[in-house]
């Protein structure tokens, strides 16, 4: 189309838009607003997704936490209300019977699930904190950010060693953190027993994982010996394989434990659980739905704006009847008149879309700067997939061409003689 490269074409378009500034501005608002909504909401949804991914980073989201409770159905000669327990031997059973399990981490605790914490002391300072007995694999499920030392290893567990990994708040209470005192190799008294500090961890957000900065970890073997728990386990953290159905793994694990300990297959209370995989799937589903809704709302708003452009161009064509008639009389071809109107439609549509895109990106940059260093709300790096934006632009321009055909055809049908007689 040679018309695009003609200076006169662009001068005419500029004159037409300049002649009705207010009308042109109001026409562009609809498309610009639609693109603004599309970009800003899509970016905001991505920012929330990134925020939750950051929140759960280092955490196995396909996890199930399972613990023993009381039965609520009498079965096999056992009365209702029997207190159930879980044991280390259950790990081997579940791993053998359920191939969908990737790995299991046992853990005991004092200070979680309503139980009292444990008193700890050092150099005359005393405080009560959460104490956990753990395996090294526990750190694989919920990876801790170590600021000093290391986490518990296999040698610590097999040797029943008196070693401890403490949270940052415990470190600040018992050590001179202002002078960056190195706690490694120094001891903390727990229940009358001295434990050597081998690591200090930090938690970015309260509630982001199962632990907090006011908790400590010792080898599970040491924990069970200290409290005479034998092989009893407080709860299992079960991680399913990446391609496995985490809900199925949960049901299979409960079924195997009910079978082993003579619990009614219908008893839903004997073993409690928290399915993190299920909850995380709900969250990701919500965010995906939010992004889809954003695309739909933005597209419909853009469509409404493009239709408004068509209506305005119809009015413009009617107002320019005499002008078009003169052009036809001096030799302008119908195709030239049609292309002129179509080009005006595309120019208005594309300019409006670009303005909406710029304002949307600007808003996302402001939101990113405002939330960069905060941890209260899961929002991080709100980005937009430019392929989606360019696709929306392409659809928008195509729609502009389609709806522009109506006023363009109206202009072509104007007869020169009738146009010149119209006034």
Q: For residue 22, give both structure tokens.
A: 């207010």
Q: Which residue has the tokens 């004997």?
A: 270
H-state helical runs in 266-333: 276-319, 321-329
Q: For residue 9, give its domain range.
A: 2-56+281-420
pLDDT of amino acid 71: 94
> What are the phi and psi torsion angles at 117 (to 5°)?
-75, -175
Tell me: do 271 and 293 sit in the same domain. Answer: no
230 and 189 within one domain = yes
pLDDT value at residue 208: 44
388 closest CA partner among 54, 30, 45: 45
Map tokens 């000669």 to a residue.
77
Higher pLDDT, 128 or 384: 128
Same domain, 87 and 167: yes
100 shares its domain with 126 = yes
- Contact, 64 vs 253, CB < 8 A? yes
Q: Which helix (H) or strand (E) holds 139?
A: helix 138-141
Q: Which two tokens stand for residue 248?
A: 């199925």
| Residues contacting residue 413 through CB under 8 Å, at least 6 positions apart | none
Clarify whether residues 322 and 335 are in a common domain: yes
- The C-alpha R_g of the chain, in whole angstroms, comes to 34
Q: Would you state the pLDDT for residue 331? A: 65
Tokens of 276: 């993190």
Query: Within this chain, do residues 161 and 206 fall inside the same structural domain, yes or no?
Result: yes
Alpha-carbon gap, residue 77 to 175, rounded angstroms: 55
Say how far apart CA 231 and CA 221 lie, in whole Å: 9
Whether the Cβ atoms of residue 414 and residue 325 lie closer than 8 Å to each other: yes
Mean local confidence (pLDDT), 294-315: 74
Same domain membership, residue 111 and residue 51: no
Q: Which of 253, 277, 301 is the last residue in one of the domains?
A: 277
Q: Choose the final residue of a domain: 235, 256, 277.
A: 277
Give me 173's structure tokens.
Answer: 């209470």
Report the distance separating Cα 71 and Cα 140, nearest Å: 32
pLDDT tens, 345-399? 778 788 888 888 899 889 888 888 877 766 666 777 788 877 777 777 787 777 7
Rounded to whole angstroms, the Cα distance separating 66 from 106 reads 10
pTM for this prediction: 0.67
Same domain, 122 and 247: yes
CB 136 within 8 A of CB 199: no
Same domain, 212 and 346: no
Decide which of 225, 251, 277 is a domain's last residue.
277
Q: What is the pLDDT of residues 187-230, one digit of tens each?
A: 999 998 999 999 999 876 544 445 578 999 999 999 999 999 88
8 Å CB contact between 93 and 70:
no
Residues 39, 356: contact at Cβ < 8 Å? yes
Higher pLDDT, 100 or 347: 100
- For residue 161, the model assigns a pLDDT of 95
pLDDT confidence of residue 302: 73
Task: Return the number of other C-beta atoms located less than 10 Å from residue 300's C-beta.
Answer: 12
H or E stretch covering 172? helix 168-174
Task: Clarify whether residues 32 and 111 are in a common domain.
Answer: no
Neighbouring residues of 180: CB distance < 8 A, sequence distance ≥ 6: none
Please indicate, yes or no, whether residues 364 and 320 belong to a single structural domain of this protein. Answer: yes
Report how far residue 172's alpha carbon sits from residue 154's, in angstroms, rounded to the nearest whole number.
28
The answer on 315 and 179 residing in a single domain is no
Q: What is the pLDDT of residue 69?
A: 93
CA 130 – CA 142 distance, rounded (Å): 16
Q: Among residues of the chain, what percentage have pLDDT more than 90?
A: 38
What is the average per-residue pLDDT within 62-84? 92
pLDDT of residue 136: 93
Rounded distance, CA 336 to CA 412, Å? 9
Q: How many domains does the chain have?
A: 2
Residue linked to tokens 């073997």: 221
- How far apart are alpha carbons 316 and 19 in whole angstroms? 10
């Amino acid at each position: 189309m040679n018309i695009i490269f003609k200076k006169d074409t662009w001068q005419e378009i500029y004159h037409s838009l300049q002649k009705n500034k207010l009308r042109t501005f109001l026409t562009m608002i609809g498309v610009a607003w639609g693109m603004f909504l599309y970009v800003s909401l899509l970016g905001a949804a991505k920012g929330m997704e990134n925020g939750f991914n950051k929140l759960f980073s280092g955490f196995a989201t396909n996890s199930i936490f399972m613990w023993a409770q009381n039965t609520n159905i009498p079965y096999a000669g056992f009365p209702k209300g029997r207190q159930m327990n879980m044991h280390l031997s259950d790990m081997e059973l579940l791993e053998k019977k359920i191939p969908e399990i990737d790995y299991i981490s046992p853990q005991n605790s004092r200070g979680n699930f309503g139980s009292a914490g444990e008193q700890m002391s050092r150099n005359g300072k005393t405080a009560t904190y959460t104490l956990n007995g753990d395996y090294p694999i526990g750190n694989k499920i919920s990876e801790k950010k170590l600021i000093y030392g290391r986490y518990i290893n296999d040698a610590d567990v097999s040797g029943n060693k008196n070693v401890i990994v403490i949270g940052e708040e415990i470190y600040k209470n018992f050590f001179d953190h202002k002078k960056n005192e190195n706690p490694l190799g120094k001891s903390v008294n727990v229940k009358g027993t001295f434990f050597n500090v081998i690591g200090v961890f930090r938690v970015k957000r309260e509630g982001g994982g199962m632990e907090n900065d006011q908790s400590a970890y010792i080898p599970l073997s040491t924990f069970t010996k200290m409290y005479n728990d034998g092989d009893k386990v407080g709860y299992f953290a079960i991680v399913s394989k990446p391609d496995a159905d985490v809900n199925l793994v949960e049901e299979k694990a409960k079924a195997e434990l009910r079978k082993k300990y003579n619990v009614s297959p219908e008893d839903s209370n004997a073993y409690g659980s928290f399915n993190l995989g299920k909850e995380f799937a709900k969250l990701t589903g919500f965010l995906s739905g939010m992004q889809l809704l954003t695309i739909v709302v933005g597209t419909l708003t853009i469509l409404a704006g493009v239709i408004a452009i068509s209506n305005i161009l119809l009015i413009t064509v009617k107002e320019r009847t005499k002008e078009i008639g003169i052009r036809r009389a001096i030799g302008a071809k119908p195709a030239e008149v049609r292309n002129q109107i179509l080009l005006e439609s595309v120019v208005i549509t594309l300019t409006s879309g670009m303005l909406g895109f710029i304002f949307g990106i600007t808003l996302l940059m402001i939101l990113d700067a405002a939330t960069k260093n905060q941890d209260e709300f899961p929002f991080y790096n709100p980005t937009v997939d430019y392929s989606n934006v360019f696709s929306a632009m392409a659809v928008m321009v195509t729609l502009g061409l389609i709806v522009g055909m109506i006023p363009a055809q109206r202009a072509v049908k104007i007869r020169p003689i009738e146009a010149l007689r119209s006034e």
